[in-house]
Amino acid sequence: MISVRGLVKRIGAEEILRGVDLDVASGETLAIIGRSGGGKSVLLKHLIGLMRPDAGEIWIEGQNITQLSERELAAIRKKVGILFQGSALFDSMSVAENISFPLREAGERDPGVLRAKVREMLEVMELEGEEDKMPVNLSGGMKKRVGLARSIIRQPSCILYDEPTSGLDPVVSDSINRLIRRLQRRFGVTSIVVTHDMKNAFHVADHIAYLHEGRIYFHGTVAELQQSSDPVLQDFLLGRSEQGAAVSSPPS
């Protein structure tokens, strides 16, 4: 469904992505892991056309989106939802208005239909009774759920999650993980989850891709990653810094 070929992105003098190749099959859940500041979110934003690459191609459902104009991208964006790291809720709108926003923009004006859809989404997100609250009055976990409800209300075929559990306590993180799994089962969508939270990645992913120094260093199943003896992967999985790895490795 999604295919990335030779993606290169420079921001200022720094080359963030140095030729990323990646394939995501339809209905699959892929977790992209990697160190903070390693370009995971940049890669994710390229997948929905929010950033333009310096080189390379991104194919979604047979269409190279890097050649589309901002207006032409609208058709692709209706098929792909995204949950932003900071939720990016519209702070001038209530929870219900945020969730129903994509439907209103798509031309739905019937208040009954909008109310019913919002209620359904709130039920899926376990947020019943919160529809009149403003984003400023929501906790971090609730904001993520509202953001997720907004991105799936039009039933996209693919959902992108940018650090869905960052800044949340373990209990709320676990509820978000369960929610991602439930959405996969209920709607059968393709999902790409960018995270550095390994628990989150292992919980939700069918496959894992490790982004290292601007390239996909590893792409395989959760079991393959866990069994790998590659020192770079082991350092990341065990949370060892370079200094830590040097101390723990035996002198040669």
Q: How far is the CB of 45 from other proteins (least distance, A)?
A: 8
- Closest CB to other proteins among residues 104, 182: 104
Q: Taken in order 117, 1, 205, 240, is the CA torsion positive or negative?
A: negative
Q: Is residue 74 near other proteins by the rule CB under 8 A? A: yes
* Cβ-contact 16, 39 below 8 angstroms: yes
Q: Is residue 81 near other proteins by the rule CB under 8 A? A: yes
C-alpha to C-alpha distance for 218 and 162, rounded to whole angstroms: 19
Q: How far is the CB of 244 from other proteins (least distance, A)?
A: 32
- Closest CB to other proteins among residues 93, 245: 93
Q: How far is the CB of 81 from other proteins (least distance, A)?
A: 8
Q: How far is the CB of 234 from other proteins (least distance, A)?
A: 34
Q: Is residue 193 near other proteins by the rule CB under 8 A? A: no
Q: How far is the CB of 14 from other proteins (least distance, A)?
A: 16
- Closest CB to other proteins among residues 90, 241: 90
Residue 113's alpha-carbon distances to 60, 79, 96, 128, 175, in angstroms, are 30, 21, 12, 17, 28
Q: How far is the CB of 189 from other proteins (least distance, A)?
A: 15
Residues numbered 27-56 forming contacts with other proteins, rule: CB under 8 A: 45, 48-50
Give the count of residues interacting with other proteins (CB under 8 A). Answer: 26
Residue 71's alpha-carbon distances to 51, 53, 62, 84, 234, in angstroms, are 14, 17, 18, 21, 43
DSSP string for residues in 39-83: SHHHHHHHHTTSS--SEEEEEETTEEGGGS-TTTHHHHHTTEEEE
Of positions 100, 151, 173, 177, contacts other proteins by CB under 8 A? 151
Burial level of 137, CB count in 10 A (0-12/13-18/19+)? exposed
Q: How far is the CB of 184 from other proteins (least distance, A)?
A: 20
Cα torsion for 128, 133, 137, 141, to the nearest 10°?
A: 30
Q: Which window, 14-22, 66-74, 166-174, 195-203, contacts other proteins (CB under 8 A)?
A: 66-74
Q: Is residue 68 near other proteins by the rule CB under 8 A? A: no
**β partners of residue 219:** 209
CB atoms within 10 A of CB 37: 11
Contact residues toward other proteins (CB under 8 A) are 45, 48-50, 70-71, 73-75, 77-78, 80-82, 84-86, 88-91, 101-102, 105, 150-151
